[in-house]
Amino acid sequence: MPRARAARQATVAKGQVVDEEHKTSRPVLRMEGVWRSFREGKSTREVLRGVDLTVEPGERVVMLGRSGCGKSTLLNLVAGIDLPDRGHITVAGRRMEILSEHARTLLRRGLFGFVFQFFNLVPTLTVEENLYLPLELNGWRPATARARIRQMLQAIGLPERGGSYPDTLSGGEQQRVALARAIIHCPALILADEPTGNLDDDTGERVLDLLESLAREHGTTLLMATHSHAVAGRADRVLTLRDGRLSATPDVPAG
């Protein structure tokens, strides 16, 4: 069986969402008619205008758009950090806009992994301690968590750096740790906001290789926001956010 097809047939333990009653995969993410606006002085700026989006298990989807077009706003809505003015957002069968803030927080802990442009590692914690955080929040037993951390450090090529602090690592090493932290608890969906934006081209390519490899191994879905066409060229599907609307971008080569 091809690896991509096998990944799409993975179980919840591999970060996928499966309808056990019907034994068929359902979308990890569905956005329907989503609007979001912000007050700016006496005026209102519409950032998202009726966005529709469906992301299937195992897909790698890239969202292109200039700075300030609303990419980060869309990711925050998907994660339940923000709520839409109107429309529906469903993640793993849960309607985000009707969940309580506490319920959305719990959902983020288990179903999401996050990768940021500026890494967002906790500077006062070692690499191992940074990786332990999502496992602790998801109730992993200490012995199992330690084994998982060793496995991930090996996977990202930093087996000897577990006791190091983030400020002793290079930018590329910090982003590799950030990737490991995002995927270590086997989330259904990784949201990546300009994951290579703070890296040089060569380091960025290596980080993308690692992100793709880890996501494929764990059957994890990727939704990445970027302005980089190099990043977009690796996607299964490329979309462009412009004037508050999301549309397909067929002229960017996929894969």
Q: What is the CATH number of the domain that holds 65?
A: 3.40.50.300
Asked if residue 1 belongs to a domain, the reply is: no
SS3 53: strand
Q: What band does 141 get if pLDDT is binned at 50, 70 and 90? A: very high
Asked if residue 48 belongs to a domain, the reply is: no
Q: What band does 54 get if pLDDT is binned at 50, 70 and 90? A: very high
pLDDT at 197: 82
- Write the pLDDT tens digit of every residue in 105-135: 999 999 999 988 788 899 999 999 999 999 9
Dmax (CA) for the chain in angstroms is 58
SS3 90: strand
Give CA–CA dist 23/46, Å, rounded.
Answer: 40
Asked if residue 184 belongs to a domain, the reply is: yes
Dihedral in degrees, nearest 10, Cα atoms 161, 164, 167, 173 = 10
Please give the order of strands across the beta sheet that includes 60-64.
Answer: 112-116, 189-193, 221-226, 60-64, 237-242, 245-248
Q: What band does 216 get if pLDDT is binned at 50, 70 and 90? A: confident
SS3 100: coil
Residue with tokens 């490899």: 213
Asked if residue 2 belongs to a domain, the reply is: no
Asked if residue 67 belongs to a domain, the reply is: yes
SS3 85: coil
Asked if residue 52 belongs to a domain, the reply is: no
Say which DSSP state 125 is in: S
Q: What band does 231 get if pLDDT is binned at 50, 70 and 90? A: confident
Asked if residue 36 belongs to a domain, the reply is: no
Give CA–CA dist 183/102, Å, rounded.
Answer: 22
Q: How many domains does the chain have?
A: 1
The mean pLDDT of the chain is 86
Comparing CA positions, the residue from 117, 110, 108 lying closest to residue 79 is 108
Asked if residue 19 belongs to a domain, the reply is: no
Cβ atoms of 62 and 224 within 8 Å: the answer is yes
Comparing CA positions, the residue from 254, 119, 255, 112 lying closest to residue 196 is 119
Q: Which amino acid is at 99?
A: L
Domain that holds residue 160: 57-80+99-248
Q: Which amino acid is at 183?
A: I
Q: Which amino acid is at 85?
A: D
Alpha carbon 18 to chain centroid distance? 19
Residue 91, H or E segment = strand 86-91
Give CA–CA dist 196/227, Å, rounded.
Answer: 10
pLDDT at 10: 34
Rg of the chain (C-alpha set): 18
